[in-house]
Structure 1
Amino acid sequence: MSRSKILDFYENQSVFITGGTGFMGKVLIEKLLRSTNVSIICVLMRAKKGKTSAQRLEEILKNERPDYESRVTAVVGDCVQEDLGLAPEDREELISKTNIVFHVAATVSFTENIKIAYDVNVKGTKALLDLCKKFEHLKSVVHTSTASVYCHLDAIDEVIYDHPLHHEQAESMLEKLSLEEALRQTPSILKKWINTYTFTKAMAESMIKEISDGLPIGIFRPAIVTASYKEPMESWVDSFATLGLVAFISLGIIRVVPSKGSCPMELVPVDLVISAMIACAWDISHKDPILVYNYVSSIDNPTTFGDFLKIHKTQMCRYPLSKAVWAPQFTCITNPVWYSLSKILYNRTLALFYDFCHILTLKKPQMLGRIIKLEEIVDSIALFLNRSWKFSNGNVKKLWDRMNDEDRELFPFDIRMVNWETYYRNLQKGIRVYLLNDPLSTLPEARIRMER
C-alpha cells in the first residue's frame, strides 16, 4: 500500500482551530490527534463560567484523549472581538508557527439576532483572514460554511455567489441598530434568505472571495451534520442543533412535525465530514483558486425523512428514554392551517396539563413555555424537511479520486459507504446515551414506564 500523502502533509505541523469546543470542533481535534502526527493544535477559546480557557479545554478532552496535553493548547480569544481578542504574545506565536487553519466557529442558530450572527459569522471571519495574511508558514485555510448557504436557489453549485449586500454596508447599517431594532428590521434585510444563519454565512463567502488576496483558502460546505457513523464511536453526538428535533420527539414533547416525509434529507455523519475537511486542507494547499466543496448525501446516497421515521418509530420502543415526559407519538402534517391547530391540540394541551400538575404540587410551571420555544425551533427548520435542492459535488469527487488507498482508509468520507438503515437503527441509542446522558442501565425502568 502506498504511503499516505495526507499524513505527510500534516507531519509535525501546527494547526489553529476556531470553534474547537463545538460538536464538529471536538471531533476534528480528536481525529487529528488519533490519525495524524501534528505537532500542536492551538484552539481559540473564551474563558467561560468562571473557568479559564485551559480548564475548559481540559474538561472537553480529558475523557476522550487523556494524552492530549502534550499536543493541544488553548489560546484565549473570541471571534467577536477585535483581532480575535488575542494577547500580543499569543498572536506572535500563531503568526510565526501556524501552518494549517480550520475556521469552524459560527453561530448556527437559525433564530439568532442578525447583529450577533453578523459579528460571529462575518466579522469574526474577516478578523481571522486578516490574521492569516500575517502567518509566515501558512499552507492551508479551511473555512466551514454550509450546504444550505444559498437555500433560496433551486440549484447550488460549487461556486461563490455574489451577495446583494456588501459586508461593509452591512456592518455600517447594523452598528447603528440596537438588538431590538435589528430584530424588527430583519425580514427586510434578509430578503430572499429565510434566516440569519444562511444570510451571514453567504455574506462571509462573498467576503472571502473579495479579500482573501491569494490566501491558500477553500470553502467546505457540509449538509446537516449529524451523529457519527463509526468514529470516535458509533452514533456519538452532543449537539441539539442537529438532532434536537429527534430528541424532543423521543421525549414525547414534540408530537407534530411540519413535513411530508418524502423529500431528500441532506444528512452527513460527523466523522465523514471531519475526514473530508482534513482531506480538503491537503487539497487546498495544492490549488491557487478558491475551491468550494459541497459535501452532501442526496447525489450519491439519497435518503428521506420518511425513511428515517419508519425506522425510528421502532427504535424509540426498543430504546425508550427514562427521561421521557410522555410516551412518544408523532404525526407529519403538511397543511399549514392543520399544523398550527395540531400544535395546540397535541403539543400545548399536554404541556398545560403537565404544568397544571406542577401547580398542584407547588412547583413552578415551565412546560408550556418550553414547548413554544421548541416549536419555534422546529418551525425554523421546516423548509429543510419539505424542499430539495440540486447540488453539484464535483470537487468533492475529484478530491476522493486524488486520494490513494492509504488515505481513503485513514480518512474515509465517501458518502456511498453509509448504510442508512443501519445508521438510523443506531441513532436512537446514540441520542439516548450521548445527547441526553441517559445510560442504558435505565432501559428496564424506561420500558416499564413505556408500557403503562
Structure 2
Amino acid sequence: MAVITDTGSKTEDLTLQQQNAKNLANIVTIPEFYANKNIFVTGGTGFLGTVLLEALLDTHPDIGTIYVLVRGKRKFDPNERINRLLQKPIFQKYNEKTLAKVVPVVGELSEVDFGFSDEILNELIDKVNIIFHSAATIKFSSPLRTAIKTNLTGTMRTIELAKKLKTLSAYIYCSTAFCNSNNRGLIIEEVYKSQFDPYEMMKMAEDDAVWENFTEEKCRGIIRDHPNTYTFTKNLSENLMMAEMSGLPAAIVRPSIVYGTWEHPIKGWVGNANSGHLGFLAGFVKGIFRTMCGRATSVIDIIPCDYVINSSLVMGWYVGTRHLNQPEVIHCTSGEVNPLTLSEFCDIMNASVERHPPNNFVWKPAAKLRNGWRYNLFFYLFHILPALVFIIPEKLFGIGMPQHTAYEYMRVFHKGTKAFDYFLDKDFRYSLKNALRVMSTMHESDKARYNFDSSQCDWSEFIDRCLIGLRRYYFKEAAVTTSWHRNYWKVFNILYYCGYVVLLAVIFGFCAPFLGLKVGLGLALLIWAFLIWL
C-alpha cells in the first residue's frame, strides 16, 4: 500500500509565516472568512451542490458572487435552470437581492477553460477567491472514458483555473471515502498512490483509437482491484491534486454514503432523492424496495448531507487561514465513532416507516437482509413480478413512484444495489484523526452551526427525518403524521397478513387440480411456508 504523505507540514517548528497564519485562524470565524469572498462552484445543481449553495448564502450577508458552472444544452436557458433551483424550499428565506448572488456560467467541465469566453474567464480570474469542486459522474457503472473525462480531466480543469486566480483563498475537492476501497482495514486520511499516472490516463481518454473495441476485460485490466470506474477515477483525481496543488490552500473531503440533512437548512431535506442510496430509501417508503444484500454485522457508513457541506465549509476556512505544504485530507464518515450495522439499519427503517407511514404505498414497507440465491430469488419474485403487475394501474391512476414506472425503478435499483453490495460486504474503516484535529481548531461560535461530528447523531431520529422529508419534499405528501396515517397503516397491515391466506389459496388452487386435494394441500403448504421464509 503506497501512501502519498506530507512530512513537511508535520514539523513542530512553525515558520513566522505559519505562526502568523495560525494566529489569523484564531481570530477569523468561519462566517467572517467567507465575507466578501467570490466563489466558483461545480456540481452546484446536484443534491450536494444545492445544499452547498444554500449554506454559502447563509454564511455571511456580505458573501460575494457565487458562480455556478452549468452545462450548456440546446433549448435550455441556464438562467431559468438556476431560477428553478432557487425556488426550492431550502431557499425560501432569502430575498431576491441575496439570491441574485448565485450566477450561472455556461461551460463544459472537461474542456480547456470550461469553454468559457475570454470575458467570462477573465472575470473569474479577477474575482473568484474560493473553488468548491463537487461535479462528478457518480454512476458506478460509467464507461471508463466517461469517468476519466468527467472525474479526472474535470478536476484538472478546476485546478488550472485555481492556479490562474489572482487571489486564491481556498480550493475544496469533494472526493469520496470509497476512493480507496481497493484497500482493506483502516483507511487513513492521506492520499493513496494510484497504480496509474493520472496524466497518462487523461491522455488516453483523448485518444479515440484506444477506445475502439474497448471491452469490459480491458477495463478490468486497467482499474484492477478497484470495484468500479468511479472509485478508480476518484483516486486518480486525488493523486492529481497532490501533484498539482503543493503549497496551495487546498483540501480533500471524503464523505461516505450521503443521506438527507440532519438539521440545516431544514431537517430531512432529500432533494430529488435519486442520489446514491437515497433512491433505495424512497422506494422503501412506498413498499417497492423490500430487501438488502449484505452481512448483518457489516457497517453501513451513512452521513447527513449537511455534515458533508459543513465539513467542506470548515475546510475552506481551515486551509484559507493556514499555510499548508500539501492538500489537507479529511473523512466525513460515521463508522468509527457511531457505527450502524445493516441489521440495525433495517430495523430502524422498519420502525420509522411504521411511525411515519406515507399517504399510500403499493405494499407494506418492510426491509430485510438476504444474501446469495435467497436475495436473487426474492428480488425476482417479490420485486420484478409485482412491478410488472403495477405498471397498468400506475399508468392509469398515477400510483407509485413519480417520473418512472415501478418496473423501471426495479431495473435501476437492482443494477445500482448490485454495485453497492461491494461496499456493504467488506470491512471498511475510515480514520477520523485529521477531521477531529480540524474540529478542535474551530471557534466555539462555529462548532454548533458547522458541526460534522457524526458521533452525536441519533440514527433512529435521523431516519425519521429522512422519511418525513421524502414524504414532504419528494412525494409532495403531508409533513405531519396524523391519526389517518396510523389508521391507514393498521388497515393495510391487516390486508398484508390476509395476503398470506390469499397466497396459500392461490398456490393450492394451482396444485389441487393436478395432485388432488390431500397431496395438493401438502405441497401448497410447503411452497407457501418456503415463500413466507424467503
TM-score w.r.t. the length of structure 1 is 0.91
1:223 matched to which residue of 2? Answer: 256
Equivalences for residues 64-79 of structure 1 within 5 A = 64=91, 65-67=94-96, 68-79=98-109
Deviations 1:123-181 (A, max 9, x none): 00101111111100111100110011111211211111111121233234343355873
Query: Take 1:401 and 1:51, find their aligned partners in 2: how far apart are those partners?
Result: 46
**Residue 138 in structure 1 maps to residue 175 in structure 2:** no
RCO higher in structure (CA 8 A, sep ≥6):
1
Deviation at 1:233, TM superposition (A): 0.8
2:288 matched to which residue of 1? Answer: 253
Query: Take 1:368 and 1:40, find their aligned partners in 2: how far apart are those partners?
Result: 43
1:450 matched to which residue of 2? Answer: 492
**Residue 105 in structure 1 maps to residue 135 in structure 2:** yes
**SS of equivalent to 2:69:** strand
Q: Which amino acid aligns with 1:17?
A: V
**SS of equivalent to 1:381:** helix
1:23 matched to which residue of 2? Answer: 47
Query: Take 1:397 and 1:299, find their aligned partners in 2: how far apart are those partners?
Result: 12
**Residue 43 in structure 1 maps to residue 68 in structure 2:** yes
Q: Is the 8 A contact 1:256 1:346 kept in 2?
A: no
Q: Which amino acid aligns with 1:371?
A: M
In structure 2, relative to structure 1, the CA distance for the partners of 1:358 and 1:290 (3 Å cut) is closer
Deviations 1:400-442 (A, max 9, x none): 1111211213322222221222112222111222233334489
1:345 matched to which residue of 2? Answer: 381
Structure 2 residue runs of 5 or longer lacking an equivalent are 1-25, 398-403, 496-534
Q: Is the 8 A contact 2:245 2:326 kept in 1?
A: no
Q: Which amino acid aligns with 2:232?
A: F
Deviation at 1:390, TM superposition (A): 2.5
2:79 matched to which residue of 1? Answer: 54
Deviation at 1:291, TM superposition (A): 0.9
Q: Is the 8 A contact 2:268 2:469 kept in 1?
A: yes
Q: Is the 8 A contact 1:268 1:296 kept in 2?
A: yes
Q: 1:161 aligns with which of 169, 188, 192?
A: 192
Query: Take 1:49 and 1:440, find their aligned partners in 2: how far apart are those partners?
Result: 37
Deviations 1:347-379 (A, max 9, x none): 222234335778999xxx964454223211111
In structure 2, relative to structure 1, the CA distance for the partners of 1:34 and 1:366 (3 Å cut) is closer
Query: Take 2:454 and 2:354, find their aligned partners in 1: how far apart are those partners?
Result: 29
Deviation at 1:25, TM superposition (A): 1.0
Deviation at 1:273, TM superposition (A): 1.5
Deviations 1:21-52 (A, max 9, x none): 11111111111111223122111112346332
In structure 2, relative to structure 1, the CA distance for the partners of 1:179 and 1:319 (3 Å cut) is farther
Query: Take 1:360 and 1:410, find their aligned partners in 2: how far apart are those partners?
Result: 47
Q: Is the 8 A contact 1:3 1:406 kept in 2?
A: no
Q: 1:281 aligns with which of 316, 326, 335?
A: 316
Higher mean displacement: 248-257 or 390-399: 248-257
Equivalences for residues 3-22 of structure 1 within 5 A = 5-22=29-46
2:449 matched to which residue of 1? Answer: 410
How large is the Cα RMSD of the aligned pairs? Answer: 2.6
Q: Which has the larger radius of gyration?
A: 2
Q: Is the 8 A contact 2:349 2:367 kept in 1?
A: no
**Residue 206 in structure 1 maps to residue 239 in structure 2:** yes
Higher mean displacement: 174-183 or 244-253: 174-183
In structure 2, relative to structure 1, the CA distance for the partners of 1:179 and 1:208 (3 Å cut) is farther
Identity %: 27
Q: Which amino acid aligns with 2:119?
A: E
- The number of equivalent residue pairs is 447
Structure 1 residue runs of 5 or longer lacking an equivalent are none
Q: Which amino acid aligns with 1:166?
A: D
Query: Take 1:12 and 1:195, find their aligned partners in 2: how far apart are those partners?
Result: 41
Q: Is the 8 A contact 1:113 1:179 kept in 2?
A: no
Query: Take 1:134 and 1:182, find their aligned partners in 2: how far apart are those partners?
Result: 39
